[in-house]
């Protein structure tokens, strides 16, 4: 009889419940439930409907009982950065404001009045992005100080969902590093930094590592879903889980976790908080077993997803590839890391305006828009590869693209063109697989991470990108 494990992987646009188990030496997975997710405008702020999210989490768990496939454990991962504050009665304070909200505008300058950008990076090695928790919390401190005064607990989104399932609060290390409030050397909260910023120490709990138990489902939840199960911490930051699933033990490989965001980098055993690293804007996010995800956050397929919504016709992905290929004559390039692409009302207009401001031809047709974004994203990948090799003084032959974006054959081919590297695509459900991997490591299904990655490599399709799939010579 197989042991089942349940990964609940929630992204910015959708969530999915995926069962995993071992069979004949391979990991098997099956999606059993999926739901939509999106930000909502609430009183002028972009917020998550956290109650609906929790209801969807419970519905998917209940599905396991209906299928009579009871998971040995359950793990939840989500995007990083976003958080919830609870009062002394463990009630939510304010709303679950999302990272794309504009409340962080100007907060970087306010923080740098207290600690310079250079000194801040020395402490945590985290890439400067206005979406980071530190700027959201400082905005709350300045604009809604009553919330911090009443707050007794700080929980990130997966931690809050875990609490609702178990009644137990645990902060998890990999997600905590996205706050820019964890010291890269100590791998613990930077209490001195919190004091400098006037953030209350009391709200931050002990940091726990992936594989640790949160607790059993509360009796009322167990009754509702029809069974009891243990909730276990995966790498609760989705990128942390995705990187766990990279199907190689080659330390000389670059990965791209490709989805709404593109996270591109390497794994390291020690952080790099040097000035050179800061100037290149690399981040040292925490990974499994105190590894470091040395990477860059790139806007990713968010731009493509946003533009696609503006088209009057709902093209299939194959049709999008064809349209983009037709537009390959268009040469304007945009900086896909520019904040103007974070949450524009119209991505099409944002791209056109960027081209206009930089004295480049503006894309007019759907073909030109698509190729402009694709080409710009692939060029950014190429630039990041060059920076990684410069900073690490090392050469890398292979790039592993994991996550939903690895199915984008057009982008994969352009990535090969710009990086001049071997591109391997897969697995698709990388984050869920990494989530399951942490649970299976706890259950001794694998002896260690290297063993797990060998199993992942033989369990899921990993395809090398063909050089002749799309021809760009003309």
- What residues does each domain of the chain span? 4-236, 246-261+299-426+444-474
Tokens linked to 402: 């994991």
Average pLDDT over residues 191-217: 98
Among this protein's residues, is 238 annotated catalytic?
yes
Residue 251 pLDDT: 85
Model confidence band, residue 9 (pLDDT cutoffs 50, 70, 90): very high
* Mean pLDDT taken over the chain: 96
Q: Do the Cβ atoms of 174 and 237 come closer than 8 Å?
A: yes
Residue 466 pLDDT: 81
pLDDT of residue 406 exceeding 80, the answer is: yes
Helices and strands (DSSP H and E) totals, the chain = 18, 23
Rounded to 5°, angle at Cα 37 from 97 and 159: 55
Model confidence band, residue 1 (pLDDT cutoffs 50, 70, 90): low
Q: Considering 9, 82, 190, 238, which one is annotated as catalytic?
A: 238
pLDDT of residue 404 exceeding 70, the answer is: yes
Q: Do the Cβ atoms of 182 and 190 come closer than 8 Å?
A: yes
The tens digit of pLDDT for each residue in 344-368 reads 999 999 999 999 999 999 999 999 9
Residue 272 pLDDT: 97
Fold of 4-236: Nucleotidyltransferase; domain 5 (3.30.420)
Residue 470 pLDDT: 75
pLDDT of residue 474 exceeding 60, the answer is: no
Q: What is the pTM of this model?
A: 0.95
Average pLDDT over residues 216-224: 98
What percent of the chain has a predicted confidence (pLDDT) above 70? 99
Average pLDDT over residues 13-30: 97
Same fold, 4-236 and 246-261+299-426+444-474: yes
pLDDT of residue 306 exceeding 80, the answer is: yes
pLDDT of residue 220 exceeding 70, the answer is: yes
Model confidence band, residue 468 (pLDDT cutoffs 50, 70, 90): low
E-assigned strand segments in 259-335: 262-268, 283-286, 292-298
H-assigned helices in 133-292: 133-143, 145-150, 157-166, 173-176, 191-197, 219-225, 238-244, 275-279
Model confidence band, residue 26 (pLDDT cutoffs 50, 70, 90): very high
The tens digit of pLDDT for each residue in 117-155 reads 999 999 999 999 999 999 999 999 999 999 999 999 999
pLDDT of residue 105 exceeding 70, the answer is: yes
Fold of 246-261+299-426+444-474: Nucleotidyltransferase; domain 5 (3.30.420)
Residue 473 pLDDT: 60
Q: Do the Cβ atoms of 327 and 365 come closer than 8 Å?
A: yes
């Amino acid at each position: 009889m197989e042991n089942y494990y349940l990964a609940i992987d929630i992204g910015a646009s959708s969530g999915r419940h995926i069962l995993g188990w071992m069979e004949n030496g391979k990991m098997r997975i099956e999606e059993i439930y999926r739901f939509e997710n999106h930000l909502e405008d609430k009183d002028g702020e972009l917020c998550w409907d956290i109650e609906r999210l929790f209801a969807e989490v419970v519905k998917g768990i209940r599905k396991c009982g209906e299928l009579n496939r009871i998971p040995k454990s359950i793990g939840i991962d989500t995007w990083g950065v976003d958080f919830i504050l609870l009062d002394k009665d463990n009630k939510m304070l304010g709303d679950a404001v999302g990272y794309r909200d504009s409340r962080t505008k100007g907060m970087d300058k306010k923080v740098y009045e207290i600690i310079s950008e250079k000194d801040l990076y020395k402490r945590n090695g985290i890439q400067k992005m206005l979406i980071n928790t530190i700027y959201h919390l400082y905005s709350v401190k300045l604009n809604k100080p009553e919330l911090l005064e009443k707050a007794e607990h700080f929980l990130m989104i997966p931690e809050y969902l875990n609490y609702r399932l178990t009644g137990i609060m645990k902060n998890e290390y990999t997600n905590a590093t996205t706050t820019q409030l964890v010291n890269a050397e100590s791998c613990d909260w930077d209490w001195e930094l919190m004091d400098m910023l006037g953030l209350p120490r009391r709200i931050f709990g002990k940091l726990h590592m992936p594989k640790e138990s949160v607790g059993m489902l509360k009796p009322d939840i167990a009754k509702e879903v029809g069974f009891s199960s243990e909730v276990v911490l995966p790498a609760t930051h989705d990128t942390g889980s995705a990187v766990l699933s990279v199907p190689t033990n080659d330390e000389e490989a670059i990965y791209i976790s490709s989805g709404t965001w593109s996270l591109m980098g390497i794994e390291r055993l020690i952080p790099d908080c040097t000035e050179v690293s800061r100037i290149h804007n690399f981040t040292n996010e925490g990974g499994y077993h105190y590894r470091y995800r040395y990477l860059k956050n790139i806007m990713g397929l968010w731009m493509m997803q946003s533009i696609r919504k503006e088209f009057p016709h709902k093209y299939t992905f194959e049709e999008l590839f064809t349209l983009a290929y037709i537009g390959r004559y268009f040469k304007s390039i945009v900086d896909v890391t520019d904040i103007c692409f974070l949450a524009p009302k119209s991505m099409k207009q944002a791209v056109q305006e960027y081209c206009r401001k930089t004295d480049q031809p503006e894309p007019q047709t759907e073909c030109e828009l698509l190729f402009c974004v694709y080409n710009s994203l692939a060029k950014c990948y190429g630039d990041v590869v060059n920076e990684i090799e410069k900073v690490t003084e090392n050469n890398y032959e292979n790039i592993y693209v994991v996550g939903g974006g690895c199915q984008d054959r057009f982008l994969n081919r352009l990535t090969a063109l710009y990086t001049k590297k071997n591109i391997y695509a897969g697995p698709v459900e990388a984050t869920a697989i990494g989530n399951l991997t942490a649970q299976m490591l706890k259950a001794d299904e694998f002896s260690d991470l290297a063993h797990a990655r060998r199993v992942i490599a033989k369990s899921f399709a990993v395809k090398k990108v063909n050089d002749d799939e799309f021809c760009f010579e003309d």
